[in-house]
Amino acid sequence: MDSVEATLLAIDAGTTGVTCLRLDADLRVEARAYREFPQGFPRPGHVEHRAEDILAAVDATLSEALKGHVGPIAAVGITNQRETVFAVDVVRDEVLGPGLVWQDRRTAPRCAELKTDGHEAEVRRITGLTLDPYFSGTKIEWLLRERSDVRAAADRGHVRFLTVDALIVRHLTGGATVATDFTNASRTLLFDLESRSWSKDMADLLGVPLSTLPEVRGSSDDYGMARLPGGRSAPIRGVVGDQQAALFGQGCWTPGTFKNTYGTGCFLLLNTGSERRDVPGLLTTLAADASGAPCYAVEGSVFAGGVVIQWLRDQLGILEAAEDSEALARTVPDSGGVTLVPAFVGLGAPYWDPDARAALLGLTRGTTRAHIARAALEAIALQCTELVTLLREGTGLAIDTLQVDGGAARNDLLMQMQADFAGLTVVRPSEVESTARGAAAMAAVGIGLRSDLGSAAGLHAGTTRFEPTSAAEERTERLAAWRTAVGRILTR
């Protein structure tokens, strides 16, 4: 296909809502729709989603994005929060209870037990990951052990454990396709990075029957026909996990290119091409090259990014809207000695401490909500600075430019803090929805719409640059102070 008239759809099912974009063949956005869906917090450390809420948001945003469009859709791309998993009875067409979200910590004791039993090195070698409740594997083990309906359906051979991408694919194809892609599979603790297949050793370790796992396909493969509003249909030809989609959408297709996404969490990925690179404290995962084929990446995962701003708004009530955080923080020259360590669901890279809990340190009688807002932005930037530092130390790369995207990247003060703390140039595109655009770009590759993604105007719509202004000594002192604060809450 080589038509300038082609129209693409991208579905981005994130942690708090679903975005749907309608794009032209140059990956320029023609229409945008968004719907939030509720989060469930039944107990401390437990985070759940209902499949029906996610799928209802998918249907609503598709309808809105397609409103007024009368032509055909060339292809659909799907991207998603990755480690969240649902148990689905594919025979009875029934989702068995709520899904366990990537932020869920309920399997922390099991991960600690597996570490004590000496399985960490094997897990790292096979999967590139660490034993942490962040990933899907111990969540699936928990569902099989704790939910009798899931266990019974699994014993009948009816259950498939689906990450959000596979849940949406199955929904849009009317159950015809039950498949995930290699980028999502590589986040489950059950996938062998070398063989690019489900690992029997890991499945046996966690007691997960291989028959309960979906088929794994390439990110730009054929996932069947999506049933769209208005009686239309289109092929699903792009499926990719959200952070790998952002890497793809930022044009990071070659070794040494990297990006950081500031969404609910913050995720920094470095493309390492055909070479697997293991950096202590970070993860090794699979991403996609320019053709959609698998390549290796190093990832640093921060669990609390934009959610910190939501916490200021929803729990503390010191913001009317998330976008007010920048203006409030700018009313003070610094945080007044306040440090926020936002371990609301434990700490990700490089600490991997699921039992750590958040702390607000350095409060005085003179502390104001502006100081807390500024400390919150600093916390996001400092967590990401640790990832950049580890990448520099672990790869030997200079890392002097950082591509950024995600909703929180719209905050100019946060981006300047990131440039100053990490000592690099931050480059922000005019459109920060690189995740959804990456899914659309993958779909374009899948149908052969574009042979040269680098020429797609939508991927190069203009940028803003933030240059570092701090001295190296100041950066070193700031990072050391941050690590001291983190040390106050570590449990291991």
> Is residue 457 pLDDT above 60, yes or no?
no
State residue 430's pLDDT score: 82
> Is residue 10 pLDDT above 90, yes or no?
yes
Domain at 27, CATH number = 3.30.420.40
State residue 2's pLDDT score: 46
User: Is residue 310 a part of any domain in this protein?
Assistant: no
Give the C-alpha separation, 49 to 37, whole Å. Answer: 8
Place of tokens 């659309």: 440
| Reported pTM | 0.88
State residue 453's pLDDT score: 65
For 334, half-sphere exposure in the C-beta direction (CA atoms, 13 angstrom radius) is 6
Q: Which of 50, 61, 75 is nearest to 18 (CA)?
A: 61
User: Is residue 464 a part of any domain in this protein?
Assistant: no
Q: Is 235 helix (H, G, I), strand (E, B) or coil?
A: strand
What's at 108, amino acid-wise? Answer: A
What's at 201, amino acid-wise? Answer: D
User: Is residue 159 a part of any domain in this protein?
Assistant: yes
Helices (H), 93-241: 108-116, 120-127, 136-146, 148-155, 164-172, 182-185, 200-206
User: Is residue 64 a part of any domain in this protein?
Assistant: yes
State the chain's mean pLDDT as an integer: 92
Q: Give the pairing of strands 401-405 and 258-262.
A: parallel
Q: Which of 123, 115, 106, 287 is nearest to 203 (CA)?
A: 123
Which range (123-127, 217-221, 225-229, 322-326) has the least confidence?
Answer: 322-326
Q: Which pLDDT band holds residue 26 (cuts at 50, 70, 90)?
A: confident
| Residue 314 DSSP code | I
Give the C-alpha separation, 73 to 225, whole Å. Answer: 11
Q: Which pLDDT band holds residue 454 (cuts at 50, 70, 90)?
A: low
User: Is residue 367 a part of any domain in this protein?
Assistant: no
User: Is residue 42 a part of any domain in this protein?
Assistant: yes
Give the C-alpha separation, 149 to 86, whole Å. Answer: 13
Give the C-alpha separation, 132 to 49, whole Å. Answer: 20
For 205, half-sphere exposure in the C-beta direction (CA atoms, 13 angstrom radius) is 24
If one counts the domains in the chain, the total is 1
Place of tokens 């693409």: 8
| Residue 188 DSSP code | S
Range of the domain at 158: 7-239
Give the C-alpha separation, 245 to 252, whole Å. Answer: 10
User: Is residue 375 a part of any domain in this protein?
Assistant: no
User: Is residue 174 a part of any domain in this protein?
Assistant: yes
